[in-house]
Structure 1
């Protein structure tokens, strides 16, 4: 996999947009990608298919890459959804197996990226650890390292990952990765070793991208993340990573 911009520049994905105003804030503040939830039961940012399509179109118009964030595990339904909405990446955020990734890769339109989340527990364990190689062989383009809390919550938990636990997992990765899990502008120095890894491609943030009063994406909050993590101010309307296997 190669990047279409200098490797020192870090992608910023903000997750959980639900309104056109969220898209506008993300674009104005320097984000590269925006996560759109569908098929996340009970999720606070859940969108129906038409809402997903509308926000994906708005994201593309604003120069952002729309990313479907989902717990769904029906490859055919996901491929149909991608065609309907025009999202650029599919982020498998639950415990979907490598077999689903393989089937999805065959069903997806060409150039659609697959992101598979690896859930890192608070004690450093990772449920998917034995399957990392299989995920790569099945067609995963990017991994995303995120928190799984002790009570079983996954996705936008706001819980911070221990940098040492991430560093210990990195030698197992067979694809580049994004980092999530309670990231803020202030804790960037704690992840220096992670960000210096040659496979590091960027960060995925929900909680720290939001205004604490309104709960919506905030331009000052996203701008601070972009500055601290050295993201680009603008991106083209196609995936900022040239995906190749």
Structure 2
């Protein structure tokens, strides 16, 4: 029996072209924050195209527009200008916003974050609606008791995921304070047919707060153990790989 494909590795929150280019060489997806009000790594609209170009320059990773915004017309404009195909809706956008963005960008890869706090997923009643609206993948992340979402560093214990994953109905990426040590869970996660990869932030950062190629490479190696090289991330609507 051949080894399974390695999961996609997404590192999130690049703010400089040289930072984005460095980690793009050892990851599959690099998140670029736009419209994340108050976020430590939020970018002005004018900076997104250069960061996206820096990610693509390494010919491995794709840029991902990560946003809290709900405005599909604005997001479509920014994505087109930067030639970004992956868009991660990382707040509480309703299914209608996903449907409008899908209509505006029919070939985009739409990732909808869902948030788990104290074992409960706030979006669980709407998972089917998100799928019907055009979501390609879910990203399962943690929320904090004070309502913070996105790169909180809060861990998601496996027991909180067990009842949720069968209900997702779509492939998923896993976030929630993941570190290199969590790669030990890789075989169990890869046994789930919907598992597509992991999303990390703080574990990929150096002491200077920037995404670090050495730490990213260590995460890449850790999650690659026991797998074969994955194909380039060419996920299309309804058929993420």
Instruction: Give the Cα separation in 2 of the matches to 1:232 and 1:37.
Output: 30
RMSD: 1.9
Q: How does 1:52-131 map to 2 (within 5 A)?
A: 52-63=48-59, 64-108=61-105, 110-121=106-117, 123-131=118-126
Instruction: Give the Cα separation in 2 of the matches to 1:71 and 1:13.
Output: 18
**Counterpart position of 2:210:** 216
Instruction: Give the Cα separation in 2 of the matches to 1:120 and 1:62.
Output: 34
Is residue 2:16 matched to residue 1:16?
Answer: no
Instruction: Give the Cα separation in 2 of the matches to 1:118 and 1:44.
Output: 21
Where does structure 2 lack aligned partners over 5 or more consecutive residues?
Answer: none
Instruction: Give the Cα separation in 2 of the matches to 1:167 and 1:60.
Output: 35
| Superposition deviation, residue 188 in structure 1 | 2.1
- Does the Cα contact within 8 Å between 1:166 and 1:194 map onto a contact in 2? no
Aligned partner of residue 42 in structure 2, secondary structure: coil
The C-alpha deviation readout for 1:67-102, integer Å capped at 9, x for no partner, is 000011011111111111111111000000011111
Aligned partner of residue 19 in structure 2, secondary structure: helix
Q: How does 1:1-245 map to 2 (within 5 A)?
A: 8-28=5-25, 30-63=26-59, 64-108=61-105, 110-121=106-117, 123-190=118-185, 192-211=187-206, 213-230=207-224, 236=232, 239-244=233-238
Instruction: Give the Cα separation in 2 of the matches to 1:215 and 1:137.
Output: 38
Instruction: Give the Cα separation in 1 of the matches to 2:213 and 2:56.
Output: 18
Gap change, CA 1:169 and 1:191, over 3 Å in 2: farther
| Superposition deviation, residue 190 in structure 1 | 4.0
Where does structure 1 lack aligned partners over 5 or more consecutive residues?
Answer: 1-5
Aligned partner of residue 242 in structure 1, secondary structure: coil
Aligned partner of residue 222 in structure 1, secondary structure: helix
Instruction: Give the Cα separation in 1 of the matches to 2:13 and 2:23.
Output: 11
The C-alpha deviation readout for 1:184-224, integer Å capped at 9, x for no partner, is 1112224643332110000000000001x211111221111
Which structure has more relative contact order (CA 8 Å, sep 6+)? It is 1
